[in-house]
Chains A and B, each alone.
Chain A
């Protein structure tokens, strides 16, 4: 049996992060999401510092979901730093942007984002997005060292 997909939600709005994490973790056997709300908190989480010094509180994420506008529009910088870091560069980063047809979409791919999703606002959109997200990253894709075995039977 494979373990649940681990997602780190890096999202400034505490409310929105909680909604996302709860929708992602609807089936805890499929996905478990943690949330951080600033670039500094993300760094603490990834380095297991501060309140994340107990490794059990900061499991290594399989996928990072990154709010592009976090911490004063620092998404691009955060993404670049992750992609330069040998420990983290193999972790796919999915970027959350405010809207379609925005400069952010192009920038997110340019800086090494794995894919880009428009922030789901309504409840049906939230459900559709998180459902397809979990299904894709957990059942279809093979991630480094995650023990995810995809569909091969």
Chain B
């Protein structure tokens, strides 16, 4: 895809190896988006609310999609989802859970909190590439993402 203004994907993941795997799987599946990473729930909220290290929106383009790990330090995924979905300026951004968990309780709780999808990460890299291909095709070729409301984040 030759998109001059690629949609930003924000990946919230505390494990550096998993961050690298996600990045490589997205590259391998030719999802040519602007990828950004945050390492915990607090950094995720700072990014989205353009605070702290992201004050003034420096290096924090509004994401079109958030890929979120449930278990993160400081503020975990569940808290972050609740906070995002309670914020009228942020709640439009679709959140996709990308986790190793298969627990039905995690699945239910996540949908209850308002995530768009829950994805259990496959164990192999090839499996992850397949997932990213189908994810990219659905979200970036089929779906209409919310319009960019830069500056309206509250």
Contacts and interface: CB of A to CB of B under 8 A. Distances in A.
A151 B146 contact: no
Nearest to B108: A144
A129 B120 CA distance: 23
Q: How large is the interface on A (under 10, 10 to 19, 20 to 34, 35 or more residues)?
A: 35 or more
A136 B120 contact: no
A100 B147 CA distance: 10
A49 to B, nearest CB: 25
A132 B117 CA distance: 15
B80 to A, nearest CB: 17
A136 B146 contact: no
A89 B122 contact: no
A136 B140 CA distance: 12
B127 A153 contact: yes
Contacts of A139: 134
Contacts of B135: 136, 140
Interface in A102-153: 105-106, 109-110, 112, 114-118, 128-129, 132-133, 135-136, 139-145, 150-153
Contact of B142 (A89, A106, A133, A140): A133
A148 to B, nearest CB: 10
A46 B65 CA distance: 30
B143 A116 contact: yes
Given A142-B107, A152-B122, A136 B134 contact: yes
A142 B97 CA distance: 10
A65 interface: no
Contacts of B88: 110
Interface of A: 83, 89-92, 97, 100-101, 105-106, 109-110, 112, 114-118, 128-129, 132-133, 135-136, 139-145, 150-153
7 tightest A-B CB contacts, nearest first: A90-B111, A136-B138, A109-B92, A114-B116, A151-B122, A109-B146, A141-B117
Given A135-B137, A153-B123, 9 more contacts: A97-B144, A105-B145, A110-B92, A116-B144, A117-B143, A132-B137, A144-B108, A151-B122, A152-B121
16 contacts: A90-B112, A92-B116, A105-B145, A106-B146, A116-B143, A117-B144, A132-B134, A135-B134, A140-B131, A140-B134, A141-B119, A142-B102, A150-B122, A150-B131, A152-B123, A153-B124
